[in-house]
Amino acid sequence: MPTKDNSRDELTMESFRKALTNSKRTLVLCGAGLSAASGLPTFRGAGGLWRNHVATELVTPDAFEADPSLVWQFYHARRHAALRAKPNAAHIALAEYTKAHPDKTFTISQNVDGLSTRAGHLRDKLNLIHGNLFDLRCSGLGCGYVDKDNFDEVLTEGLKGAEDVNAVYKDIRIRDLPMCPKCKTNLLRPGVVWFGEGLPMDVIDKVDKAFLGPPRVDLMLVVGTSGVVWPAAGFAERVRRLGGKVAIFNMEVDQAEPGDWVFEGPCEETIPEALQLTGPPD
């Protein structure tokens, strides 16, 4: 059974920092807890509802096919919230650390909110394994249309107002939802990975190369995630099998193994402290 070490005394912090300094290749895995302090919901546990809908039931191809109006209203609200959110101290500390150590740091983010990029994280060191809220692509097979970094607040007049927390569901006509400008017959969809879909192979290939080296990953930081969703769940175990060490930063930690560093608490506090970096003043 996994053990949990809640110690955050100086000895624990010093041993982690020493390993970080000596690491030849550091892998950082970021999850929804990283953005919690920026005001974005994790849609996990008690907060997993969006306007009385189970959020995880809206992030599937079947949900989009059955009710694209509902799914688009959900994503419109998420885009709106993400555009208004600001990167927190943890985003900034990770971005600054990567800038200071670009040759040895490799980041995988499960987040789709764009906050790591806005914090200044080097794009070529940031791998978005679940896609990006601000990328759009055609939902039709064979079209191939992609619109990257679309930060428009309102994609169609039909979606206007759906961002209001007090808004009620409205049955938006298909023609009033985002349509593909290329094929002009299919809806656009968010450029994110939904449950049941494959992960981007270019990102998976980069991850494999990081593990194979040289140099191989010898230290992994798990930030704001339980790491229980595959394939992220396998990353930490892979690091351990290669003889590397794992440090977990999350509000609650229940997936630690003997030998892991565990830092329970808000990521915006634990990450800057561990990396000895603080974000700019508000």
- CATH fold of the domain at 41-84+133-192: SIR2/SIRT2 'Small Domain' (3.30.1600)
Query: CB-based contacts of 246: which residues, under 8 Å, 6+ apart?
Result: 219, 220, 222, 236, 239, 240, 256, 257, 259, 260, 261
Listed by start position, the domains of the chain span 1-39+87-130+199-282, 41-84+133-192
Distance CA 11, CA 42 (A): 32
With CA atoms as reference, report the closest residue to 140 among 76, 73, 64, 59.
64
| pLDDT score recorded for residue 50 | 82
**Token pair for residue 158?**
């039909």
Tallying the residues shown for the chain, one arrives at 282
List the binding residues for Zn(2+).
138, 143, 180, 183
130 is catalytic: yes
| pLDDT score recorded for residue 2 | 43
List the binding residues.
138, 143, 180, 183
The CATH architecture that domain 1-39+87-130+199-282 belongs to is 3-Layer(aba) Sandwich (3.40)
| pLDDT score recorded for residue 44 | 62
Residue from 76, 91, 121, 130 carrying the catalytic annotation:
130
Cβ neighbours around 7 below 10 Å, total = 12
Q: Are 279 and 120 in contact (CB under 8 A)?
A: no
Residue whose token pair is 């991850």 = 207
| pLDDT score recorded for residue 257 | 83
| pLDDT score recorded for residue 48 | 73
| pLDDT score recorded for residue 267 | 95
**Token pair for residue 252?**
């609650």
Beta bridge partners of 75: none
With CA atoms as reference, report the closest residue to 239 among 7, 72, 24, 39.
24
Q: Are 91 and 107 in contact (CB under 8 A)?
A: no
Largest pairwise CA distance in the chain:
61
Per residue of the chain (282 residues), give pLDDT as tens: 344 444 445 678 999 999 999 999 999 999 999 999 999 987 665 457 788 888 889 999 999 999 999 999 999 999 999 999 999 999 999 999 999 999 999 999 999 999 999 999 999 999 999 999 999 999 999 999 999 999 999 999 999 998 887 788 889 999 999 999 999 999 999 999 999 999 989 888 988 888 888 899 999 999 998 766 676 678 999 999 999 999 999 988 877 788 899 999 999 999 999 999 754 434
